[in-house]
Amino acid sequence: MRLISFRAGQSEHVECYVTVLPGAVGGISANLNRWRTQMGHASMTPLDIAELDSVDLLGKKAPLLEVQGDFRDSDGGGAGATFTMLATVQELPEQTVFLKMVGPKGDVLAEKQRFLEFCASLSLQ
């Protein structure tokens, strides 16, 4: 389901990917909370989500999730302890765009600025 998938930075353990799915796909809060669950954290409230930093994505602001923990991928397998995930989601009229980067904490944080720049560089053209 990934549109783009690549390794980021110097580590072979940092993955970054873009996924585009039709429709609202559960909504922004459901997806942010699903990612938190993958990292071993409880769900956020709507107020918690409203207080997140934002990132420019496709010409609009989108919430930026930054969370550390024991990453569990979508099929329940563990990929690593003390990982960091940077993730954002943008709902468009007919589709939803997801960007996520995950890997060892130090490696992901070293690439954070590039992740933010990559988000801001995307457009619908």
Q: Which amino acid is at 47?
A: L
pLDDT in tens, 65-106: 999 998 766 544 456 668 999 999 999 999 999 999 999 999
Q: Are strands 78-91 and 15-22 parallel, antiparallel or unpaired?
A: unpaired
Cβ-contact 28, 91 below 8 angstroms: yes
Cβ-contact 16, 101 below 8 angstroms: yes
Other Cβ atoms closer than 10 A to 16:
21
Q: What six digits make up the tokens of 57?
A: 């994505």
pLDDT in tens, 99-124: 999 999 999 999 999 999 999 999 87
Mean pLDDT, rounded, for 52-65: 95
Give dist(CA 50, CA 57) in Å, integer.
16
Give dist(CA 111, CA 78) in Å, integer.
22
- Higher pLDDT: 81 or 9? It is 9
pLDDT surpasses 60 at 18? yes
**CATH architecture for segment(s) 2-121:** 3-Layer(aba) Sandwich (3.40)
Torsions phi, psi for 58 (to 5 deg): 60, 40
